[in-house]
Structure 1
Amino acid sequence: MNNITNYLPNFVFNFLISFYNFLSYRKRYSGVYNKFLVDFKSNAYKSRSGLLKIQHIRLNKFLIDALDNSVYYKKYTQKINLSEINLHDFKILNKETLRKNLNEIITLQKKNGIVSKTGGTTGKSLEVVFTKEDMQERFAMLDAFRMKQGYKLGKKTAWFSGKSIISKRDISKNRFWKTDYLYKVRYYSTFHISEKYLSYYLEDLIKYQPEFFVGFPSTILEIAKYGIKYNIKFPSNIVKAIFPTAETITTETRNIIETYFNTKMFDQYASSEGAPFIFECEKRNLHLELQSGVFEVLDDNDLPVYSGRLIVTSFTTHGTPLIRYDIGDRITLEDENKVCDCGNNNPMVKEILGRIDDFIYSPENGKINLGNISNTLKGTLGIKKFQVIQDSLDEIQILIEIDDNFTEKSKKVFIDNWIDRVGNKMVIEVSPVEKIKVENSGKFRIVKNNIKHLINGYA
């Protein structure tokens, strides 16, 4: 992409983005999109029993479709009672099994479907195929969620994603965005988030005045922190809502972003592979969306628990059936008897804990989760950003970006905070760096755990 952008005038590239989106949106919003949108909205506030009935009917149809059309799943027809199909007749499917057997699992050729690639931030990348109808339904559900906050295609939106769209010429002009003028979407690069460029991002956001933000919260956070640091006021009542994607949100991240931009974030969970949705409502509660799939929360022995591994069966994956798929994330469920005041009767989620990899493992104290890791900054000054990397059981490396307020005392407080969490036996190496790199996908990972194969239950 950069080879093209280095030579194209900016207005030409903006036109190409608009044209590309026009073709994409024509596929996305045609066909059965409107039917799915109407059905999803009309079912949104059904009773719990009504939602479970919809889920049961959809599950049976989905499993039968997989048994009929997937070479991999046809093998199950010899082992199960087809007149009474039970989800637990199917083995749990992990990422490596999906990758190795993908050609047998998919039900259509790539040219007849829509190919989606995962970012590969935790290993090899993965490529799955959706039917056009599946993709239309996924966008119908996602749009219905965003529409509750006033979002609509064509309203001014700032988008922060992993697309590499900035040329050397753009950088020389301090221009870190491209614009789809047809649909009023401005795409901001997530690969140039550094102190020397952030003023240009913030200046342009204030000038552009988007009604909605969509994308990586780590990028939005850095812009907010820059504005706070230099006392740059963001106009009030401009941004109506922020829809974060792809990354786990900590309480601190949410508080900083919402305070600075004077708006609310509404979280949602899905995946590039096509996981069913979890949506945040107006009351700030997360809900499993039973219309989109089945959610199982299991411990390391595959027994049901309230907090554990998330195993999904997604109704919008007919092209690459995901049946009891171990997505690699963890969640904590809310008490099943608890009811939300928003009127949505889907089961509630207490917390999305993020990727299984998003923890540091201490032989002395066990797992330290993302929330506790984020809190190691408490009482410190001068640490703008950090990333912790674990390549062995007895040592962690912590990269930090610092400013002039950083002192040896601050470093000691930071290390002491880590000792409180990992114990005294682990070696802690703190290394100041000029800039912590993001992944190839544009995402920032605060934790890079490379030893999961050494820990029981994560092999």
Structure 2
Amino acid sequence: MSSLQEKIYEKSPHFIQNCIVSVFNILAYKKRYSKKYKQFLEYYKNNKTLSTEELKELQKQKYREFIIYTKNNSEYYNKIFENIEDSDDLTNIKKLPIITKEVLRNNLSSIYTIDKNKGVISKTGGTTGKSLEVVYTYDDVQERFAMLDNFRNNFGYRLGERTAWFSGKNLLTSTDIKKKRFWKTDYFYKVRYYSTFHIHGKYLKYYLEDLITFKPPYMVGFPSTMYEIAKYGIANNIDFPANIIKAIFPTAETITEDIRKVLESYFKTDLYNQYASSEGAPFIIECENKKLHLELQSGVFEVLDGNNQPSSAGRLVVTSFTTHGTPLIRYDIGDQIELDNQGTCSCGNNNPLVKEVLGRISDYIYSEEIGKINLGNISNALKGVKGIIKFQIQQDSLEHLLIFVEKDENVFKLKDEETFLKNLRDRVGGTIEIEIQYVEEIPVEKSGKFRLIKNNIKDKIEK
């Protein structure tokens, strides 16, 4: 929303705000579900039982088409490909350079294949705290949603089903908080958006009571938020009715065994996981047997060790076939996975198996005013901010947050600091002290992994 739209929204009554949410969804869904969406959905539905050999052949074909398109339309990649023989042959992918988030961020203007106003912009801070603004073609968006919906359709979901959604949408006003109303509803598509910014012990009963009243067959979004609600229900002996939730589809965070166990047992349903990213990573999806599968039709997955050699467990480098606007080719996504080399699954999906997705660790910071603020919300604090290369939040007390910031001196302005601080305040509340320290470099951990959040007071926080 623009600043004017935000003011209109904030001053509108609850019913009108719900209508505004519906209108925004209708406009967004036109981009996602028009033109080729149904064609893509039918395509992936018909390809569910392809053999491993057929899937690999399709992957090679899509790779070739994608590389040729990128070479012809991206100035950055055209220069890379001109010195590589048979660059469109998948067997030669190792000849191409690995692209880091920093390289992508610094070269976006020459990587883009279309003007921003001719595509769909996705702004993401990412869980590593690096600011990115990628552009999708309309076909990219529709194909990605077709893949996602094809996955969810396996478990009964259809567009328009009543859904409880827990995401980074900051839709509440002070009036909502006073009235203990922590959600907004799109009545057109039957989606209720529950705030993930107010997960505090004193508010959880209202979330749970409304979920029981709303009776959504499906729950989607940040698992850490659903996890807190479930733990509250368990701790207070509030039984969640059976046969309401048909499936839970988590997003943006790693699913631990404990999170899965708590969510499935409390909500009396099954959880089905999937992995992708806002900047366009190819899909990893979970089947009915609770096995994760690489979706070879969506891209190329390379698992590499510290020497950039193939490994069964290591960092994930991806090439995504649904990023024609901002091509991702050998992109170091910043996550780690472990492959499962035990053959194929009995579910009928013959894509390779993944033992575990090791990235996107569910970390959080804590505010006495707000409660736990999850990694998904914190990572979105860079939206609308230019010039911050990356940042890290360190919490050593309940009253204070220390923010380390690496900035680009040529881009970062005072207004960017103001936007960044406002975004943080929206998430952590107005009482906790925020201290920003600008540094030349934020070091990575011994494992080589960058941590956006370093919470050193978890032992002081009631579980």
TM over 0.5: yes
Conservation of the 8 A alpha-carbon contact between 2:224 and 2:374:
no
Conservation of the 8 A alpha-carbon contact between 1:118 and 1:127:
yes
1:68 maps to 72
1:279 maps to 285
Gapped runs of 5+ residues in structure 1? 359-369, 375-383, 389-395, 402-437, 444-449
Aligned-pair distance for 1:4? 3.7
1:440 and 1:294 map into 2 onto residues whose CA distance is 39
> Identity over aligned residues, as a percent?
56
1:57 maps to 61
The correspondence for 2:38, drawn from 34, 38, 43, is 34
2:181 maps to 175
2:154 and 2:234 map into 1 onto residues whose CA distance is 29
1:172 and 1:386 map into 2 onto residues whose CA distance is 20
Letter in 1 for 2:358: L
Conservation of the 8 A alpha-carbon contact between 1:6 and 1:169:
no
Aligned-pair distance for 1:457? 5.0
2:353 maps to 348
* 1:164 equivalent in alignment to 2:170: yes
The correspondence for 2:338, drawn from 332, 335, 339, is 332
Aligned-pair distance for 1:400? 8.4
Letter in 2 for 1:172: K
The correspondence for 2:117, drawn from 111, 115, 127, is 111
Aligned-pair distance for 1:387? 9.4
Relative to the length of structure 1, the TM-score reads: 0.79
2:223 and 2:448 map into 1 onto residues whose CA distance is 30
1:84 and 1:250 map into 2 onto residues whose CA distance is 38
Gapped runs of 5+ residues in structure 2? 365-370, 376-393, 400-422, 429-440, 451-463
Task: Indicate how the Cα distance of structure 1 residues 224 and 167 shifts in structure 2: closer, same or farther if over 3 A, else same.
Answer: same
1:11 and 1:183 map into 2 onto residues whose CA distance is 15
1:381 maps to none
Mean CA deviation greater in 111-120 or 88-97: 111-120
CA deviations on 1:387-432 (whole Å, 9 max, x unpaired) are 99xxxxxxx977789xxxxxxxxxxxxxxxxxxxxxxxxxxxxxxx
Conservation of the 8 A alpha-carbon contact between 1:386 and 1:398:
no
Aligned-pair distance for 1:125? 1.6
The correspondence for 1:223, drawn from 220, 225, 229, is 229
Task: Indicate how the Cα distance of structure 1 residues 17 and 83 shifts in structure 2: closer, same or farther if over 3 A, else same.
Answer: closer
Match of 1:236, SS state, is coil
Within-5 A mapping of 1:289-300: 289-300=295-306
Conservation of the 8 A alpha-carbon contact between 1:159 and 1:188:
yes
Letter in 2 for 1:302: N
CA deviations on 1:346-380 (whole Å, 9 max, x unpaired) are 0000000114xx4xxxxxxxxxxx8xx99xxxxxx
Task: Indicate how the Cα distance of structure 1 residues 4 and 113 shifts in structure 2: closer, same or farther if over 3 A, else same.
Answer: same
1:322 and 1:199 map into 2 onto residues whose CA distance is 43
Task: Indicate how the Cα distance of structure 1 residues 119 and 76 shifts in structure 2: closer, same or farther if over 3 A, else same.
Answer: closer
1:41 and 1:387 map into 2 onto residues whose CA distance is 34
2:33 and 2:171 map into 1 onto residues whose CA distance is 25
Task: Indicate how the Cα distance of structure 1 residues 59 and 441 shifts in structure 2: closer, same or farther if over 3 A, else same.
Answer: farther
Conservation of the 8 A alpha-carbon contact between 2:166 and 2:220:
yes
Letter in 2 for 1:33: Y
Aligned-pair distance for 1:122? 2.3
Aligned-pair distance for 1:26? 1.9
Aligned-pair distance for 1:240? 0.1
Match of 2:329, SS state, is coil
CA deviations on 1:143-189 (whole Å, 9 max, x unpaired) are 00000111011111000000100000111111110000011000000
1:233 and 1:439 map into 2 onto residues whose CA distance is 35
* 1:245 equivalent in alignment to 2:251: yes
How much is the aligned-residue C-alpha RMSD, in angstroms? Answer: 2.6
1:18 maps to 22
1:454 and 1:51 map into 2 onto residues whose CA distance is 37
Match of 2:297, SS state, is coil
Structure 1: which 4+ aligned runs deviate by more than 6 Å?
A: 384-388, 396-401, 438-443
Aligned-pair distance for 1:8? 0.5
Conservation of the 8 A alpha-carbon contact between 1:62 and 1:315:
yes
The correspondence for 2:327, drawn from 318, 321, 335, is 321
2:460 maps to none
1:404 maps to none
Letter in 2 for 1:339: T
Task: Indicate how the Cα distance of structure 1 residues 247 and 312 shifts in structure 2: closer, same or farther if over 3 A, else same.
Answer: same
2:206 maps to 200
Match of 1:338, SS state, is coil
* 1:43 equivalent in alignment to 2:47: yes
Within-5 A mapping of 1:354-369: 354-355=359-360, 358=361
1:405 maps to none
Within-5 A mapping of 1:144-163: 144-163=150-169
